[in-house]
Amino acid sequence: MTAHQPVRTCIGCRRRVPRNELLRVVTFDNGSVKTVTVDVRRRMAGRGAWLHPDRSCLAMAVKRKAFNRAFKSAVDVSEVESYFSAADAAGPSGESMTTVQSESGSEMKMETR
């Protein structure tokens, strides 16, 4: 257990949880509309928001327009939705998310900081 694990708020369920339980999402400019994408490596620059790797949290965030609020503009979340779809296809357990992050060994060190 890490005592000083930073805590972030999930924009879906609004629960405050240790950052390593959440996915980081960021926006990039894709022409006219900002697109939200999952920052798997948590290294992308720019404004970020945090979301459980859970479809219900994504659905809540979309429903309450939490993405638009977090990024202060209208955003396209289709990339996040396809990320979740790909994760569903990878395996029934939520563990597929951690598998993605641990593929390169250096990512694990980031997590323990």
Binding site for Zn ion (CB under 5 A): 10, 12-13, 52, 57
Nearest to Zn ion of 69, 108 (CB atom): 69
State in angstroms the smallest separation of the CB of 21 from Zn ion.
9
* Nearer residue to Zn ion within complex by CB, 57 or 87: 57
The two structure tokens encoding residue 35: 């697109």
Residue 62 identity (one-letter amino acid): V
Q: What does the block give as tokens for 43?
A: 């290294």
User: Among residues 13 and 40, whose Cβ is nearest to Zn ion?
Assistant: 13
Residues 6 and 18: beta-carbon distance below 8 Å: yes
CB of 51 to Zn ion, least distance (A): 6
State in angstroms the smallest separation of the CB of 56 from Zn ion: 8
30 vs 65 by CB, closer to Zn ion: 65
In the numeric block, which tokens belong to residue 22?
Answer: 């959440």
The nearest distance, CB 69 to Zn ion, in angstroms, is 15
DSSP string, 7-63: EEE-TTT--EEEGGGSEEEEEEEETTEEEEEE-TTS---S-EEEE-S-HHHHHHHHH
